[in-house]
Amino acid sequence: MPSSKITIKEIASALGLSIATVSRALNGSYDIHLETKEKVLAKARELHYKPNIQARNLLKRRNNMIGVVVPEFITFFFPEIIIGIQEVVNKHGYQVLICQSNESSSLERKNVEMLEDSMVEGLIVSVTKDSKNMDLYERLVQDRMPMVFVNRVLPQLNVNQVVIDDRKWAFQTVEHLIKCGYKCIAHLAGNPDLSVTKERLHGYLDALAAYGIPVQEQLIMYVGIQQERAKDGIDYLMVLKERPDAIFAVNDPVAVGCMLELRKRGLRIPEDVAVAGFSESPIGKIMELTSVSQPTFEIGKIAAEMLLKQIANNDLPVETVVLEAKLNIRNSTLPLNKRAH
């Protein structure tokens, strides 16, 4: 019963030893007689001794914790990244404090400050969709807080990053649409301040340019990144004089929203309108949505490794790691000759 009150001191007095000897017995094996070491270990087991890591941490000026801040963890994406992170850091004796900012930059700020107060040794961050806390992160960089940004980054910030080449993969996706014979390709973009929004839009424009297709401003609409926002995009696109025959959405939720909305209107996918997404999701897969899959676990693992390295040596040069991705083609986009008519 007196389980949580057992300290090194109790063991010492129970055995007529000093706390120093007990500590040595429990930790290493230097300067300690084997016999007394075993006596101590036995007594520790008997009393259900658990070391107080807070005391240890205080002394060593660390706490074996890192913080993770993500915009949400309802969908599979960030949870998978987090699992990757945990897999790596747990092996090194670290625990992870996970915060979700619910896409609110003020909550994000609060979370980061809470983690700072908790004295985490480092931070892995993916910012909210409005990316508003530049000042906060600038201060943290200045205060030399080890940090790694993943997926949604702040390009202006000189800090470690783990990303994929959103621009390149957006290019490939749109190129695929072009090669399928789609003539009028719209883009539903995300929140304008988001790094991934800009990159993917860039890739879309690159592809059009590469194939000599003139850009039509009216085919680009910023709808955000949530499924429910797709309706606005469809409402708008479907009444254009020149109606698009394909849509490249900024991500899978929006693409899925498009598919549901198009179906509601009795339009066939891909015969009437093709749809492609980004950051392949389980739902997208089930709905046969063409999309780019990201190496989520890998992102987490790499980010964690970079962070641990930086914690160990805070003078390492800042690094950006770009991971590979993959375009998975499914029935939401098909070449002309394979489409039913």
Partner DNA sequence: AAAAACTCCGTAAACGTTTCCGGAAATAGA
Partner DNA sequence: TCTATTTCCGGAAACGTTTACGGAGTTTTT
| 93 binding DNA? (CB under 7 A) | no
Residue 74 touches which of its own copies, DNA, none (Cβ within 5-8 Å per kind): its own copies
Residue 92 touches which of its own copies, DNA, none (Cβ within 5-8 Å per kind): none
Q: Which is nearer to DNA, 41 or 213 (CB)?
A: 41
| DSSP label of 70 | E
Least distance between DNA and beta carbon 54 (Å) = 7
Sign for the CA dihedral angle at 139, 140, 144, 148 comes to negative
Residue 283 touches which of its own copies, DNA, none (Cβ within 5-8 Å per kind): its own copies
Non-local (6+) Cβ contacts of 9 within 8 A are 19
CA 98 to chain centroid: 12
| DSSP label of 200 | H
Residue type present at position 116: E
Tokens representing 32 are 């300690």
Q: Which is nearer to its own copies, 177 or 311 (CB)?
A: 311
Question: In the Cβ-directed half-sphere of 260, how many Cα atoms lie within 13 Å?
Answer: 15
Phi-psi region of 51 (alpha: psi -120 to 50; beta: other; left: phi over 0): beta
Rounded CA gap, 59 and 22, in Å?
17
Residue 16 touches which of its own copies, DNA, none (Cβ within 5-8 Å per kind): DNA
Q: How many residues bind DNA (CB under 7 A)?
A: 32
Do residues 89 and 66 touch, judged by C-beta distance below 8 A?
A: yes
Secondary element (H or E) of residue 4: none
Burial class, 91, CB count within 10 angstroms (exposed 0-12 / middle 13-18 / buried 19+): exposed
Rounded CA gap, 33 and 27, in Å?
13
Residue 192 touches which of its own copies, DNA, none (Cβ within 5-8 Å per kind): none
Residue 49 touches which of its own copies, DNA, none (Cβ within 5-8 Å per kind): DNA
- CB count in 10 Å sphere of residue 320: 13
Least distance between its own copies and beta carbon 296 (Å) = 10
Tokens representing 313 are 């040596």
Least distance between its own copies and beta carbon 99 (Å) = 8
Residue type present at position 231: K
- According to DSSP, the residues that pair with 188 across neighbouring strands are 221, 249
Least distance between DNA and beta carbon 22 (Å) = 7
Least distance between DNA and beta carbon 63 (Å) = 12
Least distance between DNA and beta carbon 57 (Å) = 9
Rounded CA gap, 86 and 104, in Å?
24
Q: Which is nearer to its own copies, 68 or 180 (CB)?
A: 68
Q: Which string of x and - marks every residue 3-42 that binds DNA (by CB under 7 A)? A: --x-xxx------xxxxxx-xx-xxx--xxxxxxx-----
Q: Which is nearer to DNA, 12 or 247 (CB)?
A: 12
Q: Which is nearer to DNA, 20 or 240 (CB)?
A: 20
Task: Note the residues at the interface with its own copies (CB under 8 A).
Answer: 1, 3-4, 48, 50-55, 57-58, 63, 73-76, 79-80, 82-83, 86, 90, 95-100, 102, 114, 116-119, 142-144, 256, 260, 282-283, 286-287
Q: Give, as ranges, the residues between 41 and 70 that touch DNA (CB under 7 A).
A: 49-52, 55-56, 58-61
Rounded to 5°, the CA angle 232-336-202 comes to 50
Q: Which is nearer to its own copies, 98 or 164 (CB)?
A: 98
Q: Contact residues for DNA (CB under 7 A)? A: 5, 7-9, 16-21, 23-24, 26-28, 31-37, 49-52, 55-56, 58-61
